[in-house]
Amino acid sequence: MSVINVGQAIVLGIVEGLTEFLPVSSTGHLKIAEGLMGIPVDDDAVVGFTAVIQAGAIAAVLVYFFADIVRIVKAWGRGIAKPSERYHHDYKFGWWVIFATLPVVAVGVAADDLIHGPLASLWVVAGSLLGGSVVMWLADRYGKHKRGEDDTSLTDAMLIGSSQILAMLFPGFSRSGATMSTGLLLGLDRVAATRLSFFMGIPALTGAGIYELPSALGSGADPLPLVVGAAVSFIVAYASIAWLLRFVSRHSFTSFVIYRVVIGLLLFGLLGAGELDA
């Protein structure tokens, strides 16, 4: 019997699609939604379900940035075959994404028990929402916003990619929030920081989904809620990506910071009043 039914899967798919790429923490919002629906947030099957429906959001990124991804993969392939092609930025960027993913994988494997155990608490989510808000505000306020996507280096990629570890260890910090904030602190403009956040998230989120698939399916579990949740997250995430790129080209991250603070304080209040089980 599935821990999550189809109706709950639709709700969680919407939440995942809306929040995966916005700097507000999809994991945090999913845990809050699960708590409100009475779903045990620390259940292995639930943790797995959360990771696997991200596949829908990842598929949305792959479709939305298909032309960019094909260009990068082709340049990477040409560089592997011909040393004379290795000057190209896209060739280098392909390697940078690979290198930047390795620290995330290493920490994810080493800290698996913590991630699925004590750090899955809604108290951690609430604190991380507030802590991440401070980092995001400082990055947006003091970042120089002068460098574009083509003006990046291996160091930029490693720092931005490795910042995903913060969100992995502290659900509520936000993977996209951590990567975008790091990009801004490195002097990237908002659009460049946002696009790099998307690219850096593809291998990490895909790997997490594959790793958690056995837990999500469980022993004899109904796969239908998982399929429905992933499909809904794909549709919603695609629209969310398009909206976010337009938004950051014209606005600061202040509205996201305010929203995170409100949600974090509200969550602390609900937990303190006993309305939610941590």
Q: Does residue 278 fall inside a structural domain?
A: no
Is the pLDDT higher at 40 or at 262?
262
18 vs 235: CA distance, rounded Å: 10
| pLDDT of 157 strictly over 80 | yes
Q: Does residue 194 fall inside a structural domain?
A: yes
C-beta neighbour count of 50 within 10 angstroms? 29
Q: Does residue 14 fall inside a structural domain?
A: yes
Please, which pLDDT band fits residue 9 given cuts at 50, 70 and 90? Answer: very high
Please, which pLDDT band fits residue 218 given cuts at 50, 70 and 90? Answer: low
Tens-place pLDDT, residues 182-217:
999 999 999 999 999 999 988 887 877 777 777 666
Q: Which domain holds residue 35?
A: 6-272
Q: Does residue 131 fall inside a structural domain?
A: yes
Decide: 132 and 174 in contact? Cβ < 8 Å.
Answer: yes
pLDDT at 131: 95
| pLDDT of 1 strictly over 50 | no
pLDDT at 217: 67
Tens-place pLDDT, residues 98-132:
999 999 989 988 988 888 788 878 899 999 999 99
**Percentage of the chain modeled with pLDDT above 70:** 96
Read off the pLDDT of each residue in 214-222 and give the average, rounded to a whole number.
Answer: 65
Please, which pLDDT band fits residue 219 given cuts at 50, 70 and 90? Answer: low
**Percentage of the chain modeled with pLDDT above 90:** 63
Q: Does residue 44 fall inside a structural domain?
A: yes
90 vs 79: CA distance, rounded Å: 9
Q: What is the pTM of this model?
A: 0.87
| pLDDT of 164 strictly over 50 | yes
Q: Does residue 250 fall inside a structural domain?
A: yes
70 vs 83: CA distance, rounded Å: 20
Lookup: tokens for 136: 């995001």
**Residues sharing a CB contact under 8 Å with residue 166, sequence separation 6 or more, in sequence order:** 132, 173, 178
Q: Does residue 1 fall inside a structural domain?
A: no
Please, which pLDDT band fits residue 26 given cuts at 50, 70 and 90? Answer: confident
Number of domains in the chain: 1
Tens-place pLDDT, residues 30-84:
888 888 888 877 677 787 788 788 889 989 999 999 999 999 999 999 999 999 9
Decide: 35 and 41 in contact? Cβ < 8 Å.
Answer: yes
Please, which pLDDT band fits residue 222 given cuts at 50, 70 and 90? Answer: confident
Q: Does residue 129 fall inside a structural domain?
A: yes
